[in-house]
Each structure stands twice: as structure tokens, then as C-alpha cells.
Amino acid sequence: MAAADKVDPIHQFQIHPIIPLHIGGYDVSFTNSSLFMVVTIVLASAFLYWSTASRALIPGRLQSVSEMAYEFVGNMLRDAAGKQGMQFFPLVFSLFMFVLVANLIGLFPYFFTVTSHIIVTFTLAILVIGTVVVYGFAKHGLGFLKLFVPHGVPGLLLPLVVAIEVISFVSRPVSLSVRLFANMLAGHITLKVFSGFVVSLSALGAVGIAGSVLPLAMAVALTALELLVAFLQAYVFAVLTCMYLNDALHPSH
């Protein structure tokens, strides 16, 4: 069973309880997923704190990275939602850093990728859409419903267009969460499969070792690709969040 787990591409996504805990008949155990979410938050917070602690006029390397991340998210938010959107900067920056660090942690062997689980990404997506709905109604009242009524639509087509807009809005948390979850899941499965080829072929002796060169090269290339995907998916999640928040600020089409 242990040998099979080493080459099983799905085994890496299994959740195991570290501290079993049941309350009121519900399983609220502290799992490996919970552990790595805590690790993600601690690492992201520690990096931002220590890199900006000196607040040097001439920033060092770590401070420069932190300032670049700050400006990157700030510019993204201003471009998508205008200056008013900066009130959501703490939310967008926190989501960006959480997704990015979680993705990067998952690239290390024997580490757990929390963003490869739909429940995690869907919770983040619900947080975003929930913020949009709550803020939209709080600021605009029923005027927020203008989001579903585009200007210039003929009266005969209006019911159909409104229905399409509502369905599109309701599907946002699904598309936002599945995009991140599916990319991380597929990438790690593919990487695990090629790594398994290397291990299996290497066990066949000299001929197997020679044959493992190609899958090893593919595994290295996929690792580099996954590093790019880790940044790209954090960016996509953040930029879509900015676009959705713009709807809360400016619901009129």
C-alpha cells in the first residue's frame, strides 16, 4: 500500500486528521489542510512583516519585493475599480497573498496544496461575491439591481437579458473557484504522474535509468510551468475579484 501511494497521483490530495475533534456530531478535526492554511497565513504575514520592518528609504531586496506586490495589487485594483476601489485593498491584497503563498507551498515535496480543494477555493469565492452583494445593497440599495439591467436593451429582449445577467452573476463563485481548483489539481496530478514514471523506470536498472531521462526532463519543465501557474492563478483570482468589486461600486452598465 505504501509503495502504491508513492505513485498514486491522487494520494497527495487526501485530507487526514491531525487532531481529531467532534462537536455536536460534526467532525471539526484539525487536518493537514487546516495546518497548511495556518502555515500559509503565518508565512505570508511573517514575510510582509519582516520585509517591511525597517522601512528603509532605500529598500533592500525583501522590502522591494513587498513594495512591488503592494503596487502590483494597488494598480490592478485602481485600473479595474477606480480610486474608490482602494477601500477594498486589504481584502484583495490578502486574497492575492494567500492564494500565491498557498500555491507556492504546494510545489514542495510532501507539502499540501490547499488551493487544490474546491471547498477552499469556493469559500474564497463566496467571500468575494458576498462582499459584492452586501456592499452593493448597502451603498446603492435596490439600485444595485441595475447591475442586471443593461442600458439600451429593447423591451422585448429585456426579460431574457436580465435572466442571462442573473445566471451569469450567480455562476461567478463557481467559475472563480473551479478555475483555481482545476488548474492546481490538474498541474499537480500531471507532475506526480511524470515523477512516478521516473521512479518506476529507475527501478528497472541501467536501461530504465536511461529511459527515465525524458520523463525527468518533463517533470523539471512541468515544475517550472507550475511555478508560473502559481503566480498566474493568484493574479487571475485577484483581477477577477477587482472586476467583481467594480460592479458593487458602479452597478450601472
pLDDT of residue 4: 46
What average pLDDT does the structure give for the chain?
89
pLDDT of residue 7: 63
Type and span of the H or E element at 191: helix 172-202
pLDDT tens column, 97-116: 999 999 999 999 889 999 99
pLDDT tens column, 52-94: 887 777 778 888 999 999 999 999 999 999 899 999 999 999 9
Looking at per-residue confidence, does 190 or 131 come out higher? Answer: 131
Torsion angle of the four alpha carbons 240, 246, 252, 253, in this order, in degrees rounded to the nearest 10: -40
pLDDT of residue 3: 46
> Above 90 in pLDDT, residue 126?
yes
Q: How far apart are CA 157 and CA 148, in angstroms?
A: 13
Q: How far apart are CA 219 and CA 193, in angstroms?
A: 9
% of the chain at pLDDT higher than 90: 59
> Above 70 in pLDDT, residue 2?
no
> Above 60 in pLDDT, residue 212?
yes
Give the predicted TM-score (pTM) of the model: 0.88
CA-nearest of 252, 242, 235 to 97 is: 235
- Tally Cβ neighbours within 10 Å of residue 64: 13
> Above 70 in pLDDT, residue 253?
no
Type and span of the H or E element at 86: none
% of the chain at pLDDT higher than 70: 97
- 3-state DSSP assignment of residue 183: helix
pLDDT tens column, 33-55: 999 999 999 999 999 999 888 77
Looking at per-residue confidence, does 133 or 8 come out higher? Answer: 133
pLDDT of residue 180: 95
Alpha carbon 160 to chain centroid distance? 33
